[in-house]
Amino acid sequence: MLSTLYIMKNDVREQRRQRGLSQIDLAAGLGVSRQTIIAIESGKYSPSLPLAFRIARFFNQPVESIFDPEEEELGA
């Protein structure tokens, strides 16, 4: 039996850098810790849906332009 693992890729780092923001600036703008931004950018943490929408609104982008799930088939 195969199962599917979804890995959430994101462009948060690229969006932040394009705007000349530090991780601290972005964290303050979103009301989260710098550690949260580090974890999201490194792919170690997928944000909650409300946070993903806040990030998208912060960058004035549709959420699907910043976050993209990748599917990976796993063996049984």
Structural domain boundaries, residue 67: 3-74
Residue 23's alpha-carbon distances to 3, 6, 10, 43, 53, in angstroms, are: 35, 26, 15, 15, 18
The total number of structural domains that make up the chain: 1
The predicted-structure confidence for 52-67, as pLDDT tens digits, reads as follows 999 999 999 999 999 9
Angle between helices 49-58 and 23-30 (to 10 degrees): 110
Confidence of residue 4 (pLDDT cuts 50, 70, 90): low
Q: What is the CATH number of the domain that holds 27?
A: 1.10.260.40
The predicted-structure confidence for 11-67, as pLDDT tens digits, reads as follows 999 999 999 999 999 999 999 999 999 999 999 999 999 999 999 999 999 999 999
